[in-house]
Structure 1
Amino acid sequence: MQQNYWTPNIETAPVHEIKSLQSLRLSQTVRKVYANVAYFRNRMDEMGVTPDDIRSVDDLSKLPFTVKQDLRDNYPFGMFAVPMDEIVRIHASSGTTGKQTVVGYTQNDVDVWKEIIARALVAAGGNAKDFVHIAYGYGLFTGGLGMHYGAEAMKASVIPVSTGNTQRQIQIMLDYGSTILCSTPSYALYLGETLKEMGVDKSQLKLKAGIFGAEPWTEQMRKEIENLLGIKAYDIYGLSEVMGPGVSFECSEQTGMHINEDHFIAEIIDPETGKQLPEGEQGELVFTAITKEALPLIRYRTRDIATLTREKCSCGRTFIKMTKPCGRTDDMLIIRGVNVFPSQVESVLLSLGQTAPHYMLIVDRVDNLDTLEIQVEMSESMFSDAVRHIEEQERRIRAAVESTLGIAAKVRLVEPKSIQRSEGKAKRVIDKRKI
């Protein structure tokens, strides 16, 4: 069993000790938000719940849920639980689907964030000798600065490149000797493609690992990234409302992401009824932040679909694991009554392995009937093939997609590089329906 844990006394603690710590911190957090956040006080009063009713994690279901709209309704600082003179950092979501959700941090919040990112880096084999190349965006987005401070806490050398200027990024990797890459998985793919175009062999890089998050990605996409960059690719999970990256992370076993349970309580609920589901069942992931001072959200509905498991992990960590989210309840497409997640399509395409890993789903409604077109980029070698061969590949993909999704789809192979690349979160869906 590896010995270089960031916090072995916590990460390998017996489960009953973890739950005891969670119960204490939950009780303290509920008292704090009831006293300092009018929204939570009003919701608890409406439900007839007092802080005295919350004594352990078993009482969690008595508390109200929080959703993203609640943060927007209390924009910008109405959900903060401390005075503004204690806030040392403000982050926010992109606000592409409404008002930004604003997140505050006290100094202690920032210190906790550093520690949980450092745990993720150590779990990926990181140490003080590493050069951590951060190609997440800096600014209000939590990815860049979150990874930055965690890498510094690990005493690594940080290269704060941010996004964009991809050829320059590769030159920096070569010149500076970057050993750990942090970015979105879609940008890691783009870096790998650009590496090939520049005629740089992956063996010329010193990269050993990548920590990728901020968007869903499949096991097939992991293999593609690992092959292109010659690294081991690790998943990291987080969301700005709860903390940012580092809520959970993969260890060397890579059979799910360990949730930092000393700071977050995870639940899986039925997204329709809100009822808690037992371990091992798939549903919506819900988090309660039990050490966050500035914005301690209670039962925050992430909309991510996942599963929790406490199966023993060979790495020695006892923190509960979550699976990679297979999609989101709000990103889920309902096409002719069938639930469709973009990640399902991606999994099919990458398992077939005949095309480039870039695609776009175009949903429309014609004569009151939903239609689905999947545009898939051809590889350079396929682009020069005969029309008959291209049509054969389209039929093959269509059959595999229909078998997986259970609905018919039009598949169209498009020219290499014709689907727009992303330096941040990849856009996978264009929904033209007026719904």
Structure 2
Amino acid sequence: MTDTLTTRTAPPDAPADALSLDRAALERLQLERLQWSVRHAYENVEFYRKKFDDAGVSPDDIRTLADIVKLPFTTKEDLRQNYPFGMFAVPMADVRRVHASSGTTGRPTVVGYTQGDLDRWADLIARSLRASGVEPGWKVHNAYGYGLFTGGQGAHAGIERLGCTVIPVSGGQTARQVQLIRDFEPDAIMCTPSYLLTIADAFDAQGLDPRGTTLKVAICGAEPWTNEMRAELERRFDIKAVDIYGLSEVMGPGVGNEFVETQDGPHIWEDHFLPEVLDDDLQPAAEGAMGELVFTTLTKEAFPVIRYRTRDLTRLLPGSAAPAMRRIEKITGRNDDMIILRGVNLFPSQIEEIALAIEHLTPHFILELTRQGRMDDLVVKIECTPGVGAETSQAAAQILQLRVKERIGTSIGVEIVAPGSLPRSEGKYKRLYDLREKTA
């Protein structure tokens, strides 16, 4: 962060009910806020000033929303190279909270929030909860992890902002989660979809029916999940499961959310975030085409990000329940999660989608990637349902192999393992284990 900051002003105001804006009014607001955010980043963050100067672009060049393509990208590696506070655009005395990624693959990425940022974040979580069908006065069981991860505390503030009672359980201690859901009788739960599946299994292990809880809706995010997983969770708990989208580098949870009435992909809260979907050449993708999701923040004070490459793969679609704000197709994969197996692109979510449609197979599986000579091999280790005999489970394994070959175009191995033998999620679930160095 530069030592000499320009006079900082808050982002331009918006109407109290931004969801009521028509598209033209929304885009006028976006442009005003985009111009503010770009100038704020350029004048207060040395990284952006150098990046813009090197690209031969200045804040004055942003005259329309389409001019966003003139600006350079920001990547996770850029954030790591400016660890810890080099991307902050305000003095540390104005920063009220710091969050960070786990840093398991390198330096963590660190994000900061002013009081204004925290207030807007709480508002957007509250908006997301209302879209999910949560009503003021409900009790919300918050099983997102607390600490440096943005999920727990971000959700917590929004639950309170909506006027709900927050039950701040955090992740883990799954048997206790079951007890508290039974004793405290929450109306809604927030957690990752894989962890909600773990909670359902814990109910079953205790001889309890998860369909008998008071839960009405689950707001799930923080990892890719398919509509097949949604159907499984809704069946197990007799609830609605709604997708909340976010990422720490842009804000945290609450960048977008599905409407419970439609469940057709998260609406991006475009009054605060400008989305783009780019093709393989990092050019704007054709309307409705699949590509990489890129975000520019429009109202972040402490930590503005310009054209941040999320690595998430999706499509940008017209709005539905909130007509002016566009949707993204449900995120089921990331381009850095992609496995290239004998020249064919494969995502863990594709295995999930296929497996959940096969009788006697469960959502509990891992992928092991190995190498024999010059060839990579992929083995799916997947649990069968309890009480299934060896002949039936092997038949299910053969169906999985066949359908993966037919739909994805590559051959995999399938190993049926005993129910309960694979690790269970206590937050974000690790699907892929790359063992190629050990087997080469």
Q: CA RMSD in A?
A: 1.3
Q: In the alignment, what sits opposite 1:176?
A: 184
Residue equivalent to 1:379: 385
5+ unaligned residues in a row in structure 1: which ranges?
Answer: 1-6
Give the conservation status (yes or no) of the 8 Å contact 2:384–2:419. Answer: yes
1:24–1:55: 8 Å Cα contact kept in structure 2? no
1:332 to 325, 329, 338: 338
* 3-state DSSP of counterpart to 2:436: coil
Quick one: distance in 2 between partners of 1:296 and 1:238?
15
Which residue in the other structure is 1:365 paired with?
A: 371
- CA drift of 1:391 comes to 2.3
Contact 1:22 1:56 in 2 (8 A): no
Letter aligned with residue 365 of structure 2 = Y
2:211·2:236 contact (CA, 8 Å) conserved in 1? no
Contact 1:174 1:204 in 2 (8 A): no
- Segments of structure 2 that go 5 or more residues without pairing to the other structure are 1-14
The residue number in structure 2 matching 1:319 is 325
CA distance in 1, matches of 2:38, 2:322: 31
User: Which of residues 274, 289, 313 in structure 2 aligns to 1:265?
Assistant: 274
CA distance in 2, matches of 1:357, 1:51: 48
State the partner residue of 1:291: 299
The within-5 A match list for 1:191-202 is: 191-202=199-210
Residue from 43, 68, 76 that aligns with 2:76? 68
Partner SS state of residue 188, structure 1: helix
Q: Which residue of 2 aligns with 1:402?
A: 405
Q: By how many angstroms is 1:388 displaced?
A: 2.8
Distance apart, 1:392 and its partner CA? 1.8
Percent identity of the aligned residues?
47
TM-score (ref. length: structure 2): 0.94
Shift of 1:316: 4.1
Deviation digits for residues 149-189 of structure 1 (CA, Å, limit 9, x no counterpart): 00000010000001111121111111111110000000100
Write the deviation string for residues 376-405 of structure 1: whole angstroms up to 9, x where unpaired: 1111121xx1x3333222211110111122
State the Cα distance separating 1:203 from its structure 2 match.
4.4
Say whether 1:218 aligns with 2:221.
Answer: no
Of 159, 162, 165, the residue aligned with 1:154 is 162
Partners in 2 of 1:19 and 1:317 — Cα distance?
Answer: 13
> Contact 2:138–2:164 at 8 Å: present in 1 too?
yes
Per-residue deviation at 1:318? Answer: 2.3
Q: Does 1:346 align with 2:328?
A: no
For residues 264 and 161 of structure 1, do their structure 2 counterparts lie closer, same or farther at Cα, with a shift above 3 Å needed?
same
**CA contact 1:280–1:308 (8 Å) conserved in 2:** yes
Residue 105 in structure 1 maps to residue 113 in structure 2: yes
Instruction: Show the counterpart of 2:4.
Output: none
Match of 1:94, as an amino acid? Answer: S
**Equivalent position amino acid for 1:258 in 2:** H
Q: Distance in 1 between matches of 2:209 and 2:364?
A: 22
Quick check: 2:264–2:330 contact (8 Å CA) kept in 1? no
Note if contact 2:361-2:396 (Cα within 8 Å) is conserved in structure 1: no
State yes or no: 1:250 paired with 2:253: no
Equivalent residue, structure 2, for 1:4 = none
Confirm whether residue 420 of structure 1 aligns to residue 417 of structure 2: no
State how 1:109-148 maps to structure 2 within 5 Å. 109-148=117-156
- The answer to whether the 8 Å contact 1:344/1:404 transfers is no
Counterpart CA distance in 2 for 1:74 and 1:50 is 21
Residue 172 of structure 2 is aligned to residue 164 of structure 1 = yes
Distance 1:112 1:173 in 2: 29
Shift of 1:433: 2.0
Kept after mapping to 2: 8 A contact 1:10/1:262: yes
Rate the CA distance shift 1:353–1:112 in 2: closer, same or farther, 3 A. Answer: farther
Find 1:36's aligned residue among 13, 22, 44: 44
Which residue identity lines up with residue 237 of structure 2 in the other structure? L
Q: Secondary structure at the match of 1:373?
A: strand
Alignment-mate amino acid for residue 359 of structure 1? F
Aligned AA (1:253) = T
SS of the equivalent of 1:380 reads: coil
What's 1:3 paired with? none
1:193-217: CA deviation from partner (whole Å, max 9, x where unpaired): 1112212223431100000000011
